[in-house]
Structure 1
Amino acid sequence: MIIKNIESKIKLASFISLFSFITSILISALVSYYAFKQISLSRQSVYILDHNNTPYQANQTDITVNRALEYKSHVNLFHSLFFTLAPDEKYIEYQMQKAMYLIDESGALQYNNLREKGFFNSILSSSAVLTVQTDSIHVDAQQKYFRYYGKQTIDRRSTTVIRSIITEGFLHDLNIRTENNGHGVLITRWKTLENKDLSHVQKTNI
Structure 2
Amino acid sequence: MNLIKSIENKIRLALYVSLGSFVSAIIIALAAFGYAYKMISREKNQIYVLDKNIPIVATRAEVGDNRAAEYKAHIEAFHDYFFSMPPDNEYIDYQIKRAMFLVDASGLAQYNTLKEQGYYTNLVSTSSVITCTKDSILLDMNTKRWRYYGKQKIERPSNITIRSLVTEGYLQDVPRSENNPHGALINGWKTLENKDLYNEAKQRF
Establish whether residue 153 from structure 1 lines up as the match of residue 153 from structure 2: yes
After superposition, the C-alpha distances for 1:30-62 in whole angstroms (9 at most, x for unaligned) are xxxxxxxx79x94xx43324554x654312111
Question: Secondary structure at the residue paired with 2:195?
Answer: strand
Establish whether residue 122 from structure 1 lines up as the match of residue 153 from structure 2: no
Q: Which residue of 2 aligns with 1:91?
A: 91
Amino acid corresponding to residue 183 of structure 2 in structure 1: G
* Cα 1:199/1:50, change in 2 over 3 Å: closer
CA offset at residue 98 of structure 1? 0.7
User: C-alpha root-mean-square deviation of aligned residues, in Å?
Assistant: 1.8
After superposition, the C-alpha distances for 1:155-178 in whole angstroms (9 at most, x for unaligned) are 00112111000000000001x211
TM-score, length basis structure 2: 0.75
Structure 2 Cα separation of the partners of residues 46 and 169 of structure 1: 38
Q: Which residue of 1 aligns with 2:106?
A: 106
- Aligned pairs for 1:49-60 within 5 A: 49-50=50-51, 52=53, 55-60=55-60
TM-score, length basis structure 1: 0.75
Q: Which consecutive unaligned segments of at least 5 residues does structure 2 have?
A: 1-40
Structure 1 Cα separation of the partners of residues 68 and 196 of structure 2: 31
Question: Secondary structure at the residue paired with 2:48?
Answer: strand
Structure 2 Cα separation of the partners of residues 170 and 156 of structure 1: 33
Question: Secondary structure at the residue paired with 1:98?
Answer: helix
Structure 2 Cα separation of the partners of residues 83 and 50 of structure 1: 36
Q: Which residue of 1 aligns with 2:48?
A: 47
Structure 2 Cα separation of the partners of residues 66 and 137 of structure 1: 16
Q: Which residue of 1 aligns with 2:141?
A: 141
Structure 2 Cα separation of the partners of residues 186 and 205 of structure 1: 45
Q: Which residue of 1 aligns with 2:199?
A: 200
Structure 1 Cα separation of the partners of residues 158 and 56 of structure 2: 56
Question: Secondary structure at the residue paired with 1:65?
Answer: helix
Establish whether residue 76 from structure 1 lines up as the match of residue 73 from structure 2: no
* Cα 1:50/1:202, change in 2 over 3 Å: closer
Aligned residues: 164
* Cα 1:198/1:61, change in 2 over 3 Å: same
Question: Secondary structure at the residue paired with 1:109?
Answer: helix
Between the aligned residues of both structures, percent identity stands at 48
